[in-house]
Structure 1
Amino acid sequence: MFGMFGKRLASVLAIALICGSTAFAIENIQVNGKSRSMIVYAPSGLEKGRPLIIQMHGMNQDAPYQQNAAKWESIADTARFVVVFPNGENKAWDIGGDKDINFLKAIIDEMEKRYGIDRKRVYVSGFSMGGMMSYHVANKMGDQIAAIAPVSGGGGVNSPKRAMPIMHTHGTTDDVVNYNSTVNTLKNWVSAQKCSSNSQKIKPYPSTKPGSAASLEIWSGCTDGVEVRLLTIDGKGHWYSMDEAVSVNTSVEIWNFVKNYSLDGSSITPPVIVPTNRDSIFNGGFDSSAVAWDLQLHGDAQATGTAKDGKYQLDITAVGTQNYQVQLIQHDLRLEKGQWYEISFDASAGAARTLEVNVEQHNDPWASYLTEKQNFELGTTAKTFTFKFQMTVATDTNSRLSFNAGAATGTLTLDNVVLKKTTEPDDPPAAIGLRAGVSMTRRYNVFDMNGVYLGRVEGVNLQDAHARARGLAKTSGAYLLKAIRN
């Protein structure tokens, strides 16, 4: 049984839970001198001022178990908010005192510090004993929580600080937390908040799904305009329902309810929707956020990135063995077979360095669509870089542009990233996307790092030229290449 008194069905190895292909680290936070733990999920490049959902596990369960059961990640990615799964001490919650109230307050403070969450849109939910804790929070922290959404766990009214929007979900055959008893307790909240005694009933729910086992009862007209809702799932036991085929996805229903509420009554700012299958860069100017951009780290590489002052600033503190181990990407790009494209961007660095740029598949095997990856020499002053290429293989609706910076530590700044269709260049050797089978030798002047001319080399590609140039730079080991236009 997955009940409040059930066995723990998920375990943590070391400090990470592996769910699918994503690792969720167990983090520690100090609360009143004690170390408490939690799992935090935040979408990549999250904007400031987004909501926070705290969801608590049942008794004898833990944060990894609840995270795996509720599957909030895709919802958070789409609607742009943070989800925290806290761990109760001894796999239980203090539903009568302040120990876990202080824990939740510390989580809210930490998420504001880390992600700039909107404190007016903090929502609390939980399963079984976590649901009971949600009601305790409503009584003790009503001035800090915009709405609650308990699942299979009830709690009484005890002098709440404000009227609380509630969405309660429960199965009729729950043999751990009785359905009928909990519904009677919920109706005490309906009475205390002076809701209309005439409820609206929707059965089946949603009404567009005739075979659904779910039904919804809504009490409106409550104090301060809040609603109390009861989502009943016929025949469901003590489980967190995620079966949309026969009923509902509980996490989706919770979000669709709580998102309507804030402590000041204001409406939520709609999330930025990034279009897919597009033939241009989205948010290439980093005007207010890094939305649509994804910073990926691989191996031992370490870096942080943020959109600041209309630019993307990358700070690399540990390099990998390959350039791609620090990678800023944008995918969902549509590249049409036979079409020529031009990419341009502004870039600078804290010190002179090379930046690798690639256009490739977004999925394994990540095949490049360039005849060779592009390398650009950055200085401390921002410059505009550009290149052209032709898509010579089948149309790809989910390709990506990758800035690969894992070869050197330090800071790097990007701005004004543009992808646009163009015509075939007059000087094909100057472009990168040459037609398959075309091989042209190019000439390069070689200089040392002081600008002293070392000689001239030729190569059918850049790698070939580098191999020859190293022979001219045996003493210093460092050199610059400058292409000679034919």
Structure 2
Amino acid sequence: MRCFGFKGKVVLALASLALFTGYAFADNLNVNGTNRTMNVYAPKNIEKGRPLIIQMHGMNQDAPYQQNAAKWESIADTARFVVVFPNGQNKAWDIGGDKDINFLKAIINEMYNKYGIDKNRVYVSGFSMGGMMSYHAANKMGDMIAAIAPVSGGGGVNSPKRTMPIMHTHGTTDDVVNYNSTVNTLKGWVNAQKCSSNSQKIKPYPTTKPGSAASLEIWSGCTDGVEVRLLTIDGKGHWYSMDEAVSVNTSVEIWNFVKNYSLDGSSITPPTPAIVVPTNREEVFNGGFDSSAVAWDLQTHGDAQASGDAKDGKYQLDISAIGTQNYQVQLIQHDLHLEKDQWYEVSFEASAGAARTLEVNVEQHNDPWASYLKEKQNFEIGTDTKNFKFNFQMTAATDTNSRLSFNAGAATGTLMLDNVVLKKIDAPAENSTKIRLGALNNRVETEYRVFDMNGTFIGKIAARSHDEVRGKLRMMVKRGGVYLIKSGNGVTRQIKVTK
């Protein structure tokens, strides 16, 4: 990432951010009567008491640009911490006054209120003018910051409130913020913090990479046992280096340094190891919701509103606003491997706060989301927990990223799911298949109840075949549309009628 000085303009070409397992969103704060904005990234289900990194952009840049350049998301997912990318006013930082100091303090408090971050482990970093702002923060609010990690931007010592661990990264051919000048400024911090004058030099860095353009100089023995480090990248200009092939990943180096420091001197608690969800799998993962909702994704579309998570070993879905289609509230699991011509059984347990219909589908995970079922399955869910199941044959080409979808957008209220299973089965005999699936095409006259998509009862039909049901339904209803046909054994089908 290049910052074209304090006079030039920046032309941004933002690449699409990779999909991670957390939440990235824009946020704003009112700071002393002024609206301030920022981008926030928090790993999914992040625990309380995890660190916070604030990383600031260069002059004439903004938060999205810095977020795209530094790529903190995967590091945060693994190590479990929150990252905030604030926006400076007019794409600059107040490196002499309190305007942006107050902004940083407000960010810390906001992240504590939202995520319960550990205020003893707040780290400040920035590129170019953002690096200068990091030094300014070290001077003005060092009692709230455990360590700083400026990149390509310096700042002098000015009565800091405490000894500050520093990891400074800079390229030797920087034509915007001079390398040699900044190194001399950094040594002012080394002297002020009474570090050892004999530094340790590691070249190349890391030593496991003989061709690396990076080198590391370490000043230890500083007051309060902190270190000051200078990571130099030979031949690098005014850029945020992410080129591991020839040097280092700056964000990784920053995290590996700052994570060693806290305001209270305590060691960091190792994060819970991340759960690795295998792809291209033949079975549902975490179908019992034993500890979390990992591998499951709740989606809402249109005007539908819902929330959900694993609670007491079940998935609890709370729907506050319905949509116009069942799929507008979906709990899905994708990355399922379905083989052509193979038969499968899907089973699950379900209950609801009030009687309702639940639609279940097996389909493509991407556009056009084609269903692999002859008809989407509809089940009557009551207040008592019951087991439901259905069989189907995968007649389409093998799909290594199909998905199982629970579509619940037709009614508000609470829905509980548990013990979701997808398994291969032998091809069932024709008669047993008809009995198990409640097929309409049997030769015994069966009575069916008819409802519209809002669940309103319309009437009853007695028929011996699917075609007979469709014909009688067409005569019964006043207008075209999709209707629910429910047999006595509780199996429900959708039939579309044209008028």
Counterparts of 2:218 and 2:311 in 1: how far apart (Å)? 44
Aligned residue in 1 for 2:274: 272
Aligned residue in 2 for 1:2: 3
Kept after mapping to 1: 8 A contact 2:127/2:153: yes
More displaced stretch, 97-106 vs 379-388: 379-388
Counterparts of 2:87 and 2:196 in 1: how far apart (Å)? 37
SS of residue in 2 equivalent to 1:155: coil
Aligned residue in 1 for 2:486: 481
State which of 16, 20, 26 in structure 2 corresponds to 1:19: 16
Structure-2 change in CA distance of 1:339 and 1:246 (3 Å): same
Q: Does 1:168 align with 2:168?
A: yes
Structure-2 change in CA distance of 1:479 and 1:107 (3 Å): same
Shift of 1:87: 1.0
Shift of 1:57: 0.9
Q: Does 1:296 align with 2:307?
A: no
Kept after mapping to 1: 8 A contact 2:3/2:60: no
Letter in 2 for 1:40: V
Kept after mapping to 1: 8 A contact 2:277/2:295: no
For 1:23-422, what aligned pairs fall within 5 Å after superposition? 26-220=26-220, 222=222, 226-263=226-263, 264-277=266-279, 278-336=281-339, 340-391=343-394, 396-422=399-425
Counterparts of 1:310 and 1:117 in 2: how far apart (Å)? 27
Shift of 1:20: 5.6
More displaced stretch, 27-36 vs 252-261: 252-261
TM-score by length of 2: 0.79
Counterparts of 2:472 and 2:125 in 1: how far apart (Å)? 64
Counterparts of 1:239 and 1:301 in 2: how far apart (Å)? 44
Letter in 2 for 1:236: K
Kept after mapping to 2: 8 A contact 1:444/1:465: no
Kept after mapping to 1: 8 A contact 2:462/2:469: no
SS of residue in 2 equivalent to 1:100: helix
Q: Residues 432-483 of structure 1: CA distance to partner in whole angstroms, max 9, x if unpaired?
A: 8xxxxxx98358642367999823346669xx968865755769x9866136
Q: How many residues align?
A: 472
Letter in 1 for 2:274: V
- Extract unaligned runs of 5+ from structure 2: 492-499
Counterparts of 1:431 and 1:50 in 2: how far apart (Å)? 50
Counterparts of 1:144 and 1:287 in 2: how far apart (Å)? 38
Shift of 1:171: 0.9
Kept after mapping to 2: 8 A contact 1:205/1:216: yes
Kept after mapping to 2: 8 A contact 1:47/1:291: no
More displaced stretch, 373-382 vs 86-95: 373-382
Kept after mapping to 1: 8 A contact 2:201/2:216: yes
For 1:387-466, what aligned pairs fall within 5 Å after superposition? 387-391=390-394, 396-422=399-425, 424-425=427-428, 427-429=432-434, 441=441, 445-447=447-449, 454-457=460-463
Q: Residues 203-230 of structure 1: CA distance to partner in whole angstroms, max 9, x if unpaired?
A: 3333343333222333445555544332
TM-score by length of 1: 0.80
Larger radius of gyration: 2
SS of residue in 1 equivalent to 2:209: coil
SS of residue in 2 equivalent to 1:412: strand
Shift of 1:152: 0.9
Structure-2 change in CA distance of 1:474 and 1:92 (3 Å): same
Structure-2 change in CA distance of 1:450 and 1:354 (3 Å): closer
Counterparts of 1:391 and 1:196 in 2: how far apart (Å)? 70
Kept after mapping to 2: 8 A contact 1:59/1:130: yes
Aligned residue in 2 for 1:14: none
Shift of 1:29: 1.6
| Alignment RMSD (CA, Å) | 3.9
Shift of 1:84: 1.8
Structure-2 change in CA distance of 1:342 and 1:200 (3 Å): farther
Shift of 1:30: 1.6
Shift of 1:281: 3.6
SS of residue in 1 equivalent to 2:240: coil
